[in-house]
Amino acid sequence: MKYLSAIIFSVAIVMAAYFLGNSYVSRANPEGTISVTGSGSENFISDLIVWEGRFSRMNPNLEAAYEQLNRDKEIVRSYLTEKGIKPENIVFNSVQTIEQMENQYQNGNYTGSIFKGFELIQPIKIESTDVELIESVSREITELLNKGVQFNSSPPRYYYTKIADLKIEMISKATEDARLRAEKIAANSGEELGDLKSANMGVFQITGQNSGEDYSWSGVYNTADKNKTASITMRLEYGID
């Protein structure tokens, strides 16, 4: 009798494990649905450029340093406007003032520091939709050296002002691509594609054309290249009729 009870108990455990396992698989892989991921991409050219730089002067006398910096400022302003940049596109930001000190040593030992002078730094920012003009001027800016101004230039950054419209277009392309994939899968399975159950947008990426940039889970927004590629993915889930 005890032997028979043990057999019955063992069979019950095996059957329970089977039904529980089968239930888990069914929940993890629901029948009657097709999940697909579609993608859309578009090449475009930036229509806004931002270019920044700075120039500086240093003098033991703060007032003299300001006078020298203001003279340089007018030289820079005249140079840029003569090149065709509109005055309203040129922004001189707040001047940065730094007290420069020089460390002193005696027999290899630090003995303190002495005041060298005030360094005044003038940042400048140029923002324009005339991308080609600003590109050209940024490459020729070293001409200011001949005018006595040491201008330090940063690489231009490129943007697109119609990014919202572009994103909508990419979503449409990715959704259509996913739908066509789902229809193909359903047809190959001898089924009819049913209603759309869910749609989830992936990460919107903007990379430089032919730049070899890696995609990121948080999204990439390239500002270094004028010619860019936008891409996005859409994950759709359809029912099966």
Contact 59, 117 (CB under 8 A): yes
First-to-last C-alpha distance (Å) of the chain: 53
pLDDT of residue 219: 77
pLDDT on residue 23: 30
Q: Which CATH class is domain 32-45+162-240?
A: alpha beta
| pLDDT tens for each residue of 189-231 | 888 899 999 999 998 999 999 877 777 666 789 999 999 999 9
Three-state secondary structure along 198-234? Answer: EEEECCCEEEECCCCCCCCCCCCECCCCCEEEEEEEE
Higher pLDDT, 221 or 8: 221
The per-residue pLDDT for range 82-116, each reduced to its tens digit, is: 999 999 999 999 999 999 998 988 888 888 888 89
Specify the pLDDT at position 13. 45
pTM of the complete model: 0.77
- Are 56 and 69 in contact by the 8 Å Cβ rule? The answer is yes
Q: Which one of 5-9, 66-70, 111-115 scores highest in mean pLDDT? A: 66-70
Pick the closest to residue 238 from 178, 198, 190, 192 (CA basis).
198
Where do the CATH 3.30.110.170 domains begin and end in the chain?
Answer: 32-45+162-240
Residues forming CATH 3.30.70.2970 domain(s) in the chain: 50-156
Superfamily name and number for 50-156: Protein of unknown function (DUF541), domain 2 (3.30.70.2970)
Distance CA 122, CA 153 (A): 12
Q: How many CA atoms lie within 13 A of 89 on its CB side?
A: 19
Q: 36, 39, 37: which is closest to 189 by C-alpha? A: 36
**Is 128:49 a contact under the CB 8 Å cutoff?**
yes
| Res. 22: pLDDT tops 80 | no
